[in-house]
Amino acid sequence: MKLIKILYLALLLFVSNATNAQDLMSELDSVPKEKQISSSAFKALQICNMQSTKLPAKGEFYFLVTHRFGDLKYGINNFFGLDNALTKIGGIYGATNWLSLGFSRHTYQKTYELAAKYKLANQQENGFPITIVGYNTMDINSELKTDLYPGLQFKNRLAFTTQLLISRKFNNSISGELAGIYVHKNLYDALLDQESIFLVGTAARCKLSKRLSANIEYAARLNLPEDVTSVYHNPLTVGLDIETGGHVFQLVFSNSQPMNDVAVFSNAGGDWSKGSLYFGFNIYRVF
């Protein structure tokens, strides 16, 4: 029910804007134009760390390699982070035009991540104003060992995110995204972490040239306990997309070194105000 309510609210917002902008009389007079699906709001499947509302077409397979280097604040000591990089490698398959399935393996906590992304609505020219996409991930932490954690059960290894992504392509160069995000961990640190976190995410893209675009994304955690100062920060990431035929290459600066959604949204350890940042890149190759 909550989901439907949020959907409905988002719709109302956009629709009321649209009606204000148009003269009702002229709407009556005009001949209905043919509705076409707008081209996707973001060029890549990801904005920086967050997911965009783009999905692979049916039958397309994306191969994905991403890196985040170590903390930049240590400078030459760890060669600006090159000494301890994290890697994620995986694939995303378009099962239908509106559903894609992903699988990846990540250095951080030796995580296996399963993902499903499904399109609920498309932005149309002269029609529906926004694109709505749902995204779910399930992480399996394969690093935990029963030697260290005698009480470990398989379900303790799992963590989840549920995300509702709403994007709008305002014109050829500017796109925006709004996201409702829920993170749930089956195992968490009682002193440093939380079982469940709700976030509101925002992201924007600005096209700079035919092959270049700049991206920014931020998510605010909504339910931090009042009596604890969180050791983590809200994730803030800026990036640059470079398109080269068949590849999308994304350079990013983020305050989260891990790249799986659960960790990005709940365990961003870096702090922009202290220069504690992680540089890295995402590479997508489509087959």
Partner 1 sequence: MDLIFIEFFNKIVMKKVKIILMIMVGMVFFSCDSTTIQDIQPIVANPKYNSNIKPIMTAKCISCHSSNGQYPALTNYAEVVDAIENGTLQCRIQNSCGAIMPPSGKLPQSLIDMVNNWKLQGYVQ
DSSP assignment of 16-84 equals HHHHHHS-HHHHHHSPPPPPEEPPPSSSSSBSSSSB-S--PPTT-EEEEEEEEEEEGGGGGGGTTTTTS
Instruction: Output 138 or 216, the one with its CB closest to partner 1.
Output: 138
Site string for partner 1, 63-82 (x = CB under 8 A): --------------------
Site for partner 1 (CB under 8 A): which residue of 74, 80, 93, 98?
98
Residues 84, 97, 156, 276: which binds partner 1 (CB under 8 A)? 156
Tell me whether residue 152 or residue 178 sits nearer to partner 1 (CB atom): 152
Candidate segments 73-81, 134-142, 262-270, 274-282, binder of partner 1 by CB under 8 A: 134-142
**Backbone torsions φ then ψ of 209, nearest 5 degrees:** -155, -170
Q: Kindly state the smallest distance separating residue 212's Cβ from partner 1, in Å.
A: 34
- According to DSSP, residue 192 is labeled T
CB 182 within 8 A of CB 196: yes
Please report whether residue 276 would count as binding partner 1 according to CB under 8 A.
no
Q: Do 284 and 45 meet the contact criterion of CB atoms below 8 Å apart?
A: yes
For partner 1, the closer of residues 140 and 216 by Cβ is: 140
One residue of 162, 202, 234, 276 binding partner 1 per CB under 8 A: 162
Where residue 81 falls (left for φ over 0; alpha for ψ -120 to 50; beta otherwise) is: left
Taking CB under 8 A as the rule, does residue 229 contact partner 1?
A: yes
* Interface stretch with partner 1, choices 104-112, 179-187, 247-255, 261-269 (CB under 8 A): 179-187
Q: Is 135 helix (H, G, I), strand (E, B) or coil?
A: strand
